[in-house]
């Protein structure tokens, strides 16, 4: 059995202040950080005790890599024989020496470039260092119209082998993008329309709740981040009896970490082996 876990703990603090983000420049109390670290250590201990094959993606509301406990968790998970992938969503703002201790054959980074928060040259320097170290990673941006030139510049300056994705700006007014602007973005990310205009989800097949689950800091398991009904708890094992095929109960799913697990969409094929870190199979 192989199980993918999308872990989102209590962390909500972020060192960036992007204007569209509700978590911009938020701060966790010392107690919240202590609890988050303890929860994460418990999760890593649970993972280490398993015999089934695991993959883990950390999807914190804030920025995880600025916290030592997330770096330590990724290192520990990457060095477990039964873990296929240990990945995290990150703004790539921290130094990379911590990677020296990780198994880079298993670790991966889903990196987002925020041009109002960091210069292109500095971000590209970190990407070059990831390349030098052989770290699997993708790079993405939010598709703000005022950033279209910057999106294209980032694509030109990244190595051709580094996949780049673009998320549609949301919430946005109707007709925010015109046909020409969509074409510019699709030249960079051919899957952009799945994020821009999500296919109806209600009744669609989905691997979440079967081979993919969402886990919070208390160990409560749900099928994904977007379906609130609990399936049980990770630590008492009660979730395992609830794993089975299920159709999506939502009218639509507009987030990659949800719709990428729909087998009727192309992501299981096009991103085979790299769905969690958003790295296409051709890389």
Domains of the chain: 2-270 (3.20.20)
Q: How confident is the model at residue 18 (pLDDT cuts 50, 70, 90)?
A: confident
- Residue 48's φ and ψ, nearest 5 degrees, are -65, -25
- Average pLDDT of span 79-108: 97
Q: What percent of the chain has pLDDT over 90?
A: 92
Residues with Cβ < 8 Å from 242, sequence gap 6 or more? 209, 221, 231, 232
For the segment 126-148, what is each residue's pLDDT rounded down to a tens digit? 999 999 999 999 999 999 999 99
What is the structure's pLDDT at 27?
A: 87
Q: b/e string for 74-97 if b means 16 or more Cβ within 10 A?
A: bbbbbebeebebbbbbbbbbbeee
ω into 186 cis (within 30 of 0): no
């Amino acid at each position: 059995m192989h199980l993918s876990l999308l872990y989102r703990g209590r962390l909500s603090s972020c060192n960036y202040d992007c204007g569209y983000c509700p978590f911009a420049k938020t701060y966790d109390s010392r107690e919240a950080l202590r609890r988050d670290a303890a929860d994460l250590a418990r999760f890593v201990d649970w993972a280490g005790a398993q015999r089934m094959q695991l993959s883990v993606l950390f999807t914190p509301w804030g920025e995880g890599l600025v916290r030592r406990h997330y770096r330590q968790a990724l290192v520990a998970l990457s060095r477990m024989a039964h873990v296929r992938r240990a990945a995290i969503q990150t703004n790539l703002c921290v130094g990379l020496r911590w990677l020296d201790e990780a198994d880079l054959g298993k670790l991966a980074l889903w990196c987002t470039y925020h041009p109002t928060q960091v210069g292109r040259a500095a971000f590209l320097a970190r990407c070059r260092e990831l390349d030098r170290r052989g770290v699997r990673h993708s790079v993405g941006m939010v598709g703000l119209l005022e950033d279209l030139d910057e999106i294209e510049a980032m694509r030109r300056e990244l190595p051709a082998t580094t996949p780049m994705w673009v998320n549609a700006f949301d919430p946005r007014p109707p007709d925010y993008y015109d046909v020409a602007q969509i074409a510019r973005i699709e030249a960079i990310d051919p899957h952009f329309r799945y994020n821009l205009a999500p296919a109806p989800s209600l009744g669609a097949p989905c691997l979440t709740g079967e081979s993919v689950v969402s886990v919070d800091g208390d160990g409560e398991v749900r099928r994904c981040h977007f379906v609130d009904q609990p399936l049980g708890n990770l630590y008492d094992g009660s979730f395992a009896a609830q794993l089975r095929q299920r159709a999506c109960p939502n009218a639509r799913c507009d987030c990659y970490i949800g719709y990428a697990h729909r087998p009727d969409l192309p992501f299981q094929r096009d991103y085979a082996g790299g769905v969690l870190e958003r790295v296409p199979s051709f890389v």
